[in-house]
Amino acid sequence: MNLVLLIFILLFSLSLFFFSKSRIGYFSNSKQFKLKALPKYYAYYLSLWCALPAFLVLVSWNILEPTIVKNLIFSKIISNSSNEVSRDELNLIFQKIKAYYAGNFTGQLSEVIKSGADQYKRLLSVAASSKVVIFFVTIVIFTSIALKNVANNVHAREGVEKIIRILLFASSVAAILTTAGIVFSLLFESIKFFSTINFFDFIFGTSWSPQKAFVSDTSAKLSASEIKELSEAFGAIPLFAGTAFIALIAMCVAVPIGLFSGIYFAEYASTNVRKFGKPLIEILAGVPTVVYGFFAALTVGPFFRVLGESFGFEVSSESALAAGLVMGVMIIPFISSLTDDVINSVPQSLRDGSYAVGATKSETIKKVVFPAALPGIVGSILLAVSRAIGETMIVVMAAGLAANLTINPLESTTTVTTQIVMILVGDQEFTSAKTQAAFALGLTLFAATLVLNFIALRVVKKYREQYE
Amino acid sequence: MNKEQRRKKRYQAEKRFQAYGIVAISLALFFVGLLVFKVFSDGRSAFSRTMIKVPITFDADKLGITNINDKDEVENADYFTLVYEQFIKSYPYSNDKEEKQIIKLLSPDYEFEAKNYFLKNKDKLGKTVSLLLTASDDFDQLHKGNFPRNIPEERRRLSNYQLGIYDQFLKEGKIEKIFNNYLFSKGDSRDPELAGFGGAILGSFFSILVCLLISFPIALAAAVYLEEFAPKNKLTDLIEININNLAAVPSIVFGLLGLGVLLNVFELPRSTALVGGITLALMTLPRIIIPARASLKAVPPSIREGALAVGASRVQTVFHHVVPHAMPGTLSGTIIGLAQALGETAPLLLIGMVAFVVEIPGSPLDPSASLPVQVYLWSESAERGFVEKTSATIMMLLGFLIVMNSLAVYARQKFERKWN
């Protein structure tokens, strides 16, 4: 249905475009009136005014229709039932009505569902026909307005350019809308979560066991002991600690290797080494993270276990060490190429000054170039840290699932991202505290990376200004 | 310490420092090599499939076919029993357990393979042909040499009896390796020998297509607005900061966005390439806007001034002159952004593209997997056959990424103009 309508506007506005272009060209040649713009602008003007409003109507209708239909059915159910119906019950009934309408309903069939399905069917057919009517009315109205304007010899190019500018602006607002969407979706569920679970219990609690959250309906009244039990199930400290720990291991691998290779590329390497070595290392940045996850889970993890066993250590096959090490390898190219850039932008005069007083190359690097480049390097390391804590696939595949507070790299730990994936993969009920907890974790992650990125970008920017 | 010794020490420090750099680079290169080597050595064998040559007589009575031209009868004939009875004859057995062990050497799809063969060669009714049937995963892995034979029987997936059959077949020349076309044409399966990434490739294709169609026009328009038209005010500053921050938001957060908004508010269909594509598009948007802006900025002002001087409007100047010059850089940025989106897994997990999908998706509205998700799904399976399949999928994925990235480099080098 939507596709047919879309194809219709496309074809209609295209034909309008070519038709009006040739007509207006003909008019202007016959010198009946003087045009204010090239004929093609009149054609653009017409087809834009015909297609855009109809398209917007179609999109907003499709977005609003389900909500309106749902609310109409809700109000019917509420007015028909004698006692109070909660929001969740309504949702459940609505799901059943939809399933019955689609013909794959199994279970107890009640009168409410039957009549609801009848109403649903009626509403859908009404909605479909009114959509088509409104769609065509929009096309007719706007096309005729545009035609009248063209007949009055409107400034067509200016009109078209105005529309184009508005479209350009709307596109750049899309970025803000995305952020707003992220914040909205995270906050919406998190607020529900924090209405049952105390914020401080979440941030400072030390035991994480969401499977304990058997109470699926958080809106129901809970007894004091149940609330206490729930808050004990959602202490996120082990997750934060695990995330920080794995990120720390990753940085222990990535920072030395990345820094030294960046310095070598910038200061020592011949052009040939640079030309072939840099892209080779940057392959590491292009490899999808799921590949690293596979590598960590099937190669590195078992390797460490066997190695540990031969030395008499007990190593979990999902050790933090394996996940952290592989994550570190992933991060090497970020640090090395950023370090390379930063060091290259240190002015040559600083080096020359140092050489002139007799310092060797490494002394110059250590005592002059590195301190000068330090802010930029710190910024790049911060960016790398934010990548490490937001990294998902490696830890999902190679780190453990059970939350335990440990600083032993040979044991398994879990991270924020792992828990989000574990909770949300598969079927979820959106009323359970467990699902909402995933969104609360997402919000924390979003906030943490945002702060890190903000600081890092500021540091890097400030540093750049220093030498420009 | 005299001067000579001190200088010697300083030179040694110099050498050591250089050596650290070389060690660091070699370590990084070692990891690259290890990764590539591991993937290729594990995945190579997935491209071949072990077949067992079985003599099959298409006996009309056994199949229950009375009229060869009756389509229904031929379609519904009993190929299962036909193959079963003739295959177990190929090795002596003494009890039910051994009979079961024999038939387990064939992949469960044998009845369809026999059926497909017969549907194409109906003249073979009543004749004996030697048919190539897909071997089971265990047999396949044994033949490829991935299962060690010298461990105790209870830790092996194949019994001594089955190993005997294998040796016998090998001697009789009944085992053949052919190119594994199933890998490319089939969807997911519980049986490794029948699983392929055909469905995942199409799922990836559809989601990247949706991603491209949404993100490229919007990103280009946003970049043009910010670089060419935006007045300097609070709102445009906000948009700028926003875009820079969005580019660094972890991908899993976009998955939460897709789940919370696209699935729960807009109620788009779960597990489909459409939702995956939209989610990836939101993620790719800032990653295209940034290079697009950079290449718009690189177009020298003289181009704009020239166009304006001969009377072009601002919009005409931008779309006729500036944007075409910025296209190579924008396109290469787009391709790199899409390559990142192609390798992205985490957001797709959250919007349900992890479903077990056997059918090959026909449109972006069908449930589907994608290549990286297929890697994740198969890597969770225990069978040895899936390890090589996973590596083969990774090879495919890396192949696509290499092609896309080289295309981006090529586009930039070939078409970008140097202005000075």
**Given an 8 Å threshold on Cβ–Cβ distance, is B286 in contact with A333?**
no
Q: Which of A269-273, A363-367, A379-383, A455-459 has the lowest mean pLDDT?
A: A455-459
Give yes or no for residue A173 having a pLDDT over 80.
yes
Q: Which of B69-83, B228-242, B300-314 has the lowest mean pLDDT?
A: B69-83
Tell me what pLDDT residue B346 has. 92
Mean pLDDT of B38-49: 89
Give yes or no for residue A450 having a pLDDT over 70.
yes
Query: Nearest to residue A63, comparing CAs of B259, B214, B365, B266?
Result: B266
Tell me what pLDDT residue B290 has. 93
Give yes or no for residue A261 having a pLDDT over 90.
yes
**Given an 8 Å threshold on Cβ–Cβ distance, is B350 in contact with A383?**
no
Taking CA A276 as the corner, what is the angle to CA A272 and CA A282, rounded to the nearest 5 degrees? 140
- So where are chain B's domains? 48-179, 198-415
Q: What is the pLDDT of residues B222-264, one digit of tens each?
A: 999 999 998 888 888 888 888 888 888 999 999 999 998 888 8
Q: What is the pLDDT of residues A292-313, one digit of tens each?
A: 999 998 889 889 889 988 888 8
**pTM summary value:** 0.89
Q: Which residues of B touch A278 (CB under 8 A)?
A: none
Q: Per CATH, which fold does A237-467 belong to?
A: MetI-like fold (1.10.3720)
> pLDDT category, A423, cuts 50, 70, 90?
confident
Mean pLDDT of B285-296: 93
Quick check: A335 and A253 in contact, CB under 8 A?
A: no
Q: Which residues of B touch A161 (CB under 8 A)?
A: 313-315
Mean pLDDT of A267-278: 89
Structure tokens at B370: 């994608």
Q: How far apart are CA A254 and CA A333, in angstroms?
A: 8
Mean pLDDT of A230-241: 83
**Given an 8 Å threshold on Cβ–Cβ distance, is B27 in contact with A257?**
yes
Quick check: B188 and B377 in contact, CB under 8 A?
A: yes
Task: Give the nearest partner residue to A299 out of B38, B224, B260, using CB atoms.
Answer: B38
Best mutation target among B6, B8, B11, B32 (most A Cβ atoms within 10 Å) is B32
Query: Nearest to residue B352, comparing CAs of B368, B339, B341?
Result: B368
Instruction: Tell me whether 0.85 is exceeded by the ipTM.
Output: yes
Task: Give the nearest partner residue to A260 out of B24, B255, B315, using CB atoms.
Answer: B24
Tell me what pLDDT residue B308 has. 95
Q: Which residues of A touch B249 (CB under 8 A)?
A: 182, 390, 446, 449-450
Radius of gyration of chain A (CA): 31
Task: Give the nearest partner residue to B28 out of A160, A281, A299, using CB atoms.
Answer: A281
Q: How far apart are CA A319 and CA A406, in angstroms?
A: 11
- For chain B, what is the largest distance between any 2 Cα atoms, rounded to a whole number of angstroms? 107
Query: Nearest to residue A403, comparing CAs of A395, A414, A392?
Result: A414
B230 vs A: CB within 8 A? yes
Tell me what pLDDT residue A428 has. 62
Q: What is the dihedral of CA A252, A253, A259, A262, to 10 degrees?
A: -160
The percentage of chain B sitting over the pLDDT mark of 90, rounded to a whole number, equals 40
**Given an 8 Å threshold on Cβ–Cβ distance, is B243 in contact with A417?**
no
Quick check: B77 and B64 in contact, CB under 8 A?
A: yes
> pLDDT category, A393, cuts 50, 70, 90?
very high
Q: How far apart are CA B369 and CA B349, in angstroms?
A: 10
Tell me what pLDDT residue A330 has. 93
**Given an 8 Å threshold on Cβ–Cβ distance, is B31 in contact with A329?**
yes
Give the closest-approach CA distance of A153 to chain B in angstroms.
19
SS3 (DSSP) at A170: helix
| DSSP-assigned letter for residue B418 | P
Tell me what pLDDT residue A189 has. 87
The percentage of chain A sitting over the pLDDT mark of 90, rounded to a whole number, equals 35
| DSSP-assigned letter for residue A35 | -
Residue of A nearest to B378 (CA): A294
Give yes or no for residue B58 having a pLDDT over 70.
yes
Task: Give the nearest partner residue to B345 out of A173, A290, A297, using CB atoms.
Answer: A290
Q: What is the pLDDT of residues A327-384, one digit of tens each?
A: 999 999 999 998 998 898 889 999 999 999 999 999 999 999 999 888 889 989 999 9
Those residues with Cβ within 8 angstroms of residue A352's Cβ, 6 or more apart along the chain or in another chain: none
Mean pLDDT of A278-284: 87
Give yes or no for residue A269 having a pLDDT over 80.
yes
Tell me what pLDDT residue B274 has. 92
Task: Give the nearest partner residue to A397 out of B251, B260, B376, using CB atoms.
Answer: B376
Using CB atoms and an 8 Å cut-off, which of residues 325-354 of chain B contact chain A? Answer: 339, 342-346, 349-350, 354
Using CB atoms and an 8 Å cut-off, which of residues 263-292 of chain B contact chain A? Answer: 264, 266-267, 282, 285-286, 289
Q: What is the pLDDT of residues B26-35, one digit of tens each?
A: 999 999 899 9
Give yes or no for residue B24 having a pLDDT over 90.
yes
Query: Parallel, antiparallel, or unpaired for β B48-57 and B128-134?
Result: antiparallel
Tell me what pLDDT residue B420 has. 65
User: How many residue pairs bridge chain A and chain B with CB atoms within 8 Å of each other?
Assistant: 251
**Given an 8 Å threshold on Cβ–Cβ distance, is A169 in contact with B251?**
no
B356 vs A: CB within 8 A? no
**Given an 8 Å threshold on Cβ–Cβ distance, is B38 in contact with A362?**
no
Using CB atoms and an 8 Å cut-off, which of residues 34-93 of chain B contact chain A? Answer: 35, 38-39
Best mutation target among B6, B7, B17 (most A Cβ atoms within 10 Å) is B17
> pLDDT category, B22, cuts 50, 70, 90?
very high
Give yes or no for residue A220 having a pLDDT over 60.
no
Tell me what pLDDT residue B295 has. 92
DSSP string, B124-163: GTT-EEEEEEEBPHHHHHHHTT-S-SSS-GGGSSS-HHHH
DSSP string, A408-459: -TTS----HHHHHHHHHSS---TTSHHHHHHHHHHHHHHHHHHHHHHHHHHH
Mean pLDDT of B94-113: 85
**Given an 8 Å threshold on Cβ–Cβ distance, is B397 in contact with A168?**
no
Q: A457 or B134, which is more confident?
A: B134
Q: A316 or A162, which is more confident?
A: A162
Q: What is the pLDDT of residues B160-201, one digit of tens each?
A: 888 888 888 888 888 888 898 888 888 888 888 888 899 999
Give the closest-approach CA distance of A224 to chain B in angstroms.
30
Quick check: B225 and A171 in contact, CB under 8 A?
A: yes
Q: Which residues of A touch B23 (CB under 8 A)?
A: 260
Q: B40 or A468, which is more confident?
A: B40
A29 CB neighbour count, 10 Å cutoff: 9
B360 vs A: CB within 8 A? no
Quick check: B86 and B78 in contact, CB under 8 A?
A: no
Q: Which residues of A touch B387 (CB under 8 A)?
A: 298
**Given an 8 Å threshold on Cβ–Cβ distance, is B17 in contact with A178?**
no
Give yes or no for residue A215 having a pLDDT over 60.
no
> pLDDT category, A31, cuts 50, 70, 90?
low
Q: What is the pLDDT of residues A72-92, one digit of tens each?
A: 888 887 877 777 777 777 777
> pLDDT category, B276, cuts 50, 70, 90?
very high
Quick check: A293 and B376 in contact, CB under 8 A?
A: yes
Residue A149 region by backbone torsions, left for phi larger than 0, else alpha for psi between -120 and 50, else beta = alpha
Task: Give the nearest partner residue to B375 out of A283, A290, A332, using CB atoms.
Answer: A290
Across chain A, mean pLDDT equals 85
Quick check: B20 and A260 in contact, CB under 8 A?
A: yes
Query: Parallel, antiparallel, or unpaired for β B175-179 and B48-57?
Result: antiparallel
Q: Which residues of B touch A449 (CB under 8 A)?
A: 248-250, 253
Q: How far apart are CA B348 and CA B416, in angstroms?
A: 34
Tell me where in chain A the CATH 1.10.3720.10 domain(s) lie.
237-467
Task: Give the nearest partner residue to B349 out of A181, A280, A425, using CB atoms.
Answer: A425
Q: Which residues of B touch A160 (CB under 8 A)?
A: 315
**Given an 8 Å threshold on Cβ–Cβ distance, is A446 in contact with B13?**
no
Tell me what pLDDT residue B76 has. 81
Tell me what pLDDT residue B142 has. 87
Tell me what pLDDT residue A468 has. 58
Tell me what pLDDT residue A277 has. 87
DSSP string, A218-239: TTS---HHHHHHHHHHB--HHH
Give yes or no for residue A465 having a pLDDT over 70.
no
Give yes or no for residue A219 having a pLDDT over 70.
no
| DSSP-assigned letter for residue B44 | G
Query: Nearest to residue A328, comparing CAs of A274, A395, A418?
Result: A395
Tell me what pLDDT residue A429 has. 63
> pLDDT category, B353, cuts 50, 70, 90?
confident
Mean pLDDT of B55-78: 80
Q: What CATH code would you report for B198-415? A: 1.10.3720.10
Give yes or no for residue A137 having a pLDDT over 90.
yes
Helix (H) or strand (E) holding B53: strand B48-57
**Which runs of consecutive H residues, i.e. helices, occur in A264-369?**
271-286, 289-295, 301-310, 320-344, 348-356, 361-364
What's the start-to-end Cα distance of chain B, in Å? 55
Mean pLDDT of B61-79: 79
For the beta sheet containing B128-134, the strands, ordered from the edge strand earlier in sequence to the opposite edge, are B128-134, B48-57, B175-179
Structure tokens at B146: 């991935």
Instruction: Give the range with max mean pLDDT: A68-72, A422-426, B199-203.
Output: B199-203
Task: Give the nearest partner residue to B346 out of A283, A292, A392, using CB atoms.
Answer: A392
A85 CB neighbour count, 10 Å cutoff: 16
